[in-house]
């Protein structure tokens, strides 16, 4: 078995600084920001002390609602130093989703940016937390969010009830370095340090509790699959709020001492510019990101010869896209990774020397110190190579559990420690895994996991809707799109535009149905269960959405 690390996120950063503190650790070309690993560690220590001055204790929950800002990155490692649990918030969330997450997670401190695209985060927070208008920073008493006390704004302009990031930095100057060292030394690798929200079949997002040990070792294995070294420079355009950004991206870089080159918000031109300017050797993305980069009208004018590796994940990669990433972009050692938040997140990954067929047809083989097996969903018995079943996994990478959801945790992880992925798969004689389908009805749109039940629960609140079933239908650009089959109340009519207006601002835009069909009834089994696969077939047929397979 490969050697495992036994350290914390903060301890890992200190080790890297000891080894190569003067090497570039973080580069933000968009902000003209360059930190050596020592500079970066000093920033993280200062913020860690600021959080301690604010009163955060080990195990307290701190949420970050922002794009890939430098402050997000610093907070990730600052919490890893002082022991607060980092709760990640999807940048696409709207009021209903934000309120649920802050309540369910018992978040005490929220760090947020002012706005993202057409969404004003500050206004949304004031809407669900009007008491902020009247309170002093740090003194919040909210009826709907009783645990929330501190709000820290990433901006220059002071807002009622909120600290600024600059206040947090100044607070850090009032805490002795020795106090931070004592706090850091009190942390244990098996402590929960990261909480990522993922939806489940119940339709309500669940807080996946990940420990230092979970994510540090997963990141180390991921980095080794890509053969990362201190000479590598990784462009990270995937969001930090996903494990893709903060484990496969930032943390993997730190385990190898590589340079992190984040992109604040994905834009294909910015990515191409960043790779060329910073001579990036690694690039991450979901297939739709790579497609957007390859098809950008200015693609040919960029010198991408520095590229060697990276990770493509989130959804299946078409063969032609993989060929172009390897041969046209030059990332000949690009890898494919598969997993889920509950597994920290990577379970399997291709290796840099795997043939292209394996990188497209499979999701690689298990990481070191990880167990996988394919079982018959009905009997739980392992199936022979090449036969389809449910993929299960066990090892250091399996989450501690879902926050405040013991029953759901028991359903996900059996008594022997095996995590049920809910994905159907086959495994060949060499251990390479092919994902063949899903036990659940999850929709994957451009790398975002969408759970129909969550959308259905929300759409049930529409006054005209009697019943609703949500399915995924194929889409050439995003992989899948959301389609709603709606039964309306007697005497009512409902148009797609009306449905979408109802959703706007309440649920994330990627969850809003792209298509809708009003129906009288649903296809059912003899026992009365709705056959969603028949609805999907009907949608594909009526919309003419058959997507050619590669």
Residue 536's alpha-carbon distances to 9, 158, 468, 533, 546, in angstroms, are 43, 49, 14, 5, 11
d(CA 467, CA 56): 45
Q: Three-class SS string for 272-295?
A: HHHHHHHCCCEEEECHHHHHHHHC
Domain end: 304, 327, 350, which one? 327
Same domain assignment for residues 111 and 244? yes
Section 525-538 average pLDDT: 75
Same domain assignment for residues 281 and 154? yes
Contact 176, 57 (CB under 8 A): no
Mean pLDDT of the chain: 94
Q: Where are the alpha helices (DSSP H) in 27-120?
A: 37-53, 70-82, 95-104
Same domain assignment for residues 70 and 195? yes
Domain end: 327, 362, 392, which one? 327
Tell whether the model's pLDDT for residue 177 goes beyond 90: yes
Q: 4 in a domain, yes or no?
A: no
Tell whether the model's pLDDT for residue 148 goes beyond 80: yes
Please report how many Cα atoms fall inside a 13 Å half-sphere around the Cα of residue 97, on the Cβ side: 26
Q: How confident is the model at residue 425 (pLDDT cuts 50, 70, 90)?
A: very high
Q: Is 407 exposed, middle or buried (0-12, 13-18, 19+ CB in 10 A)?
A: exposed
**Best CA proximity match to 119, nearest among 499, 497, 507:** 507
C-beta atoms surrounding 66 within 10 Å: 21
Give the per-residue pLDDT at 398. 98
DSSP 3-state percent helix, strand, coil across the chain (nearest 5)? 35, 25, 40
The CATH code of the domain that includes 474 is: 3.30.300.30
Please report how many Cα atoms fall inside a 13 Å half-sphere around the Cα of residue 2, on the Cβ side: 17
Calculate the CA 369 to chain-centre distance.
23
Question: For residue 527, what are the contacts with CB-CB under 8 A and spacing of at least 6?
Answer: none
Same domain assignment for residues 120 and 269? yes
For the stretch 460-488, pLDDT in tens is 899 999 889 999 999 989 999 999 999 99
Q: 405 in a domain, yes or no?
A: no
Tell whether the model's pLDDT for residue 332 goes beyond 60: yes
Contact 464, 434 (CB under 8 A): no
Q: 400 in a domain, yes or no?
A: no
Give the per-residue pLDDT at 550. 35
Q: 46 in a domain, yes or no?
A: yes
d(CA 293, CA 307): 14
Q: Give one DSSP letter per residue of 356-425, joined into a string.
A: HHHHHH---EEPTTEEEEEE-TTT-PBPPTT--EEEEEEETTS-SEETT-HHHHHHHB-TTSPEEEEEEE
d(CA 240, CA 538): 37
C-beta atoms surrounding 496 within 10 Å: 15
Between 379 and 454, whose confidence is greater?
379
Peptide bond into 345 cis (omega under 30): yes
For the stretch 79-111, pLDDT in tens is 999 999 999 999 999 999 999 999 999 999 999
Tell whether the model's pLDDT for residue 163 goes beyond 60: yes
CA dihedral 139, 109, 69, 400 (to 10 degrees): 180
Q: 218 in a domain, yes or no?
A: yes
For the stretch 230-265, pLDDT in tens is 999 999 999 999 999 999 999 999 999 999 999 999
Per-range mean pLDDT, top range of 177-191, 287-301, 467-481: 177-191
Same domain assignment for residues 319 and 455? no
Tell whether the model's pLDDT for residue 524 goes beyond 90: no
When divided into structural domains, the chain yields a total of 2
Domain end: 287, 302, 327, which one? 327
Section 65-70 average pLDDT: 98
Give the per-residue pLDDT at 527. 44
C-beta atoms surrounding 65 within 10 Å: 24
For the stretch 499-514, pLDDT in tens is 999 999 999 999 999 9
Angle between helices 37-53 and 165-172 (to 10 degrees): 90
Per-range mean pLDDT, top range of 51-60, 370-379, 428-437, 533-542: 51-60
Residue 388's alpha-carbon distances to 244, 440, 537, in angstroms, are 27, 15, 22
**Best CA proximity match to 343, nearest among 377, 366, 320:** 366
Q: Three-class SS string for 493-522?
A: CCCHHHHHHHHCCCCCHHHCCCEEEECCCC
Residue 431's alpha-carbon distances to 44, 74, 438, 516, in angstroms, are 40, 38, 20, 41
Q: How confident is the model at residue 447 (pLDDT cuts 50, 70, 90)?
A: confident
Strands 109-113 and 150-154: parallel
Strand partners, 298: none
The CATH code of the domain that includes 51 is: 3.40.50.12780
d(CA 10, CA 75): 11
Q: 369 in a domain, yes or no?
A: no
C-beta atoms surrounding 154 within 10 Å: 20
Contact 279, 306 (CB under 8 A): yes
Tell whether the model's pLDDT for residue 373 goes beyond 90: yes
489 is in which domain, residue-wise? 443-543
Residue 357's alpha-carbon distances to 284, 336, 550, in angstroms, are 20, 12, 12
Q: 378 in a domain, yes or no?
A: no
Same domain assignment for residues 110 and 249? yes
Q: 260 in a domain, yes or no?
A: yes
d(CA 416, CA 498): 49
Q: How confident is the model at residue 441 (pLDDT cuts 50, 70, 90)?
A: confident
Calculate the CA 2 to chain-centre distance.
26
Q: How confident is the model at residue 549 (pLDDT cuts 50, 70, 90)?
A: very low
């Amino acid at each position: 078995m490969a050697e495992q690390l036994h350290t914390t996120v903060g301890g890992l950063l200190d080790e890297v600084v000891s080894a190569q503190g003067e090497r570039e650790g973080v580069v933000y070309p968009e902000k003209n920001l360059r930190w050596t690993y020592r500079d970066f560690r000093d920033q993280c220590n200062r913020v860690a002390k600021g959080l301690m001055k604010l009163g955060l204790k080990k195990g307290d929950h701190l949420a970050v609602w922002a794009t890939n800002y430098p402050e997000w990155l610093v907070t990730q490692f600052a919490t890893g130093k002082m022991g607060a649990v980092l709760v990640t918030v999807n940048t696409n969330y709207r009021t209903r989703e934000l309120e649920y997450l802050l309540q369910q997670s018992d978040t005490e401190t929220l760090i947020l940016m002012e706005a993202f695209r057409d969404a004003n985060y500050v206004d949304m927070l004031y809407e669900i937390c009007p008491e902020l208008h009247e309170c002093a920073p740090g003194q919040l008493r909210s009826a709907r969010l009783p645990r929330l006390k501190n709000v820290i704004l990433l901006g220059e302009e002071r807002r009622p009830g909120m600290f600024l990031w600059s206040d947090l930095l100044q607070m850090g100057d009032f805490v002795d370095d020795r106090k931070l060292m004592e706090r850091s030394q009190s942390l244990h690798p098996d402590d929960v340090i990261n909480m990522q929200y993922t939806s489940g079949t119940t339709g309500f997002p669940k807080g996946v509790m990940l420990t230092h040990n979970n994510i540090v070792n997963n990141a180390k294995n991921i980095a080794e699959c890509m053969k990362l070294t201190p000479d590598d420079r990784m462009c990270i355009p995937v969001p930090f709020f996903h494990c893709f950004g903060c484990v496969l991206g930032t943390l993997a870089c730190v385990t190898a001492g590589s340079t992190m080159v984040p992109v604040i918000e994905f834009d294909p031109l910015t990515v191409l510019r960043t790779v060329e300017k910073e001579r990036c050797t690694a690039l991450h993305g979901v297939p739709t990101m790579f497609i957007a980069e390859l098809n950008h009208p200015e693609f040919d004018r960029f010198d991408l010869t520095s590229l060697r590796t990276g990770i493509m994940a989130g959804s299946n990669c078409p063969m032609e896209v993989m060929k172009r990433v390897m041969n046209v972009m030059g990332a000949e050692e690009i890898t494919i990774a598969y997993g889920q938040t509950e597994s920290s997140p990577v379970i399997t990954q291709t290796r840099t020397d795997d043939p292209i067929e394996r990188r497209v047809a499979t999701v690689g083989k298990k990481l070191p110190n990880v167990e996988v097996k394919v079982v018959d969903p009905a009997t739980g018995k392992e199936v022979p190579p090449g036969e389809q079943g449910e993929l299960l996994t066990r090892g250091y990478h399996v989450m501690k559990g879902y926050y405040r959801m013991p029953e759901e945790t028991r359903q996900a992880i059996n008594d022997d420690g095996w995590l049920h992925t809910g994905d159907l798969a086959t495994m060949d004689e060499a251990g390479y895994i092919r994902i063949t389908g899903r036990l659940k009805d999850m929709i994957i749109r451009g790398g975002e996991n969408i759970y129909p039940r969550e959308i259905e629960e929300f759409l049930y609140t529409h006054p005209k809707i009697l019943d609703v079933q949500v399915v995924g239908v194929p889409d050439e650009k995003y992989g899948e799109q959301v389609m709603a089959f709606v039964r309306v109340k007697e005497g009512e009519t409902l148009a797609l535009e009306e449905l979408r207006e109802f959703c706007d601002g309440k649920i994330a835009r990627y969850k809003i149905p792209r298509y809708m069909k009003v129906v009288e009834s649903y296809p059912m089994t003899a026992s009365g269960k709705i056959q969603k696969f028949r609805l999907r077939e009907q949608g594909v047929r009526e919309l003419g959405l058959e997507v050619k397979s590669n």
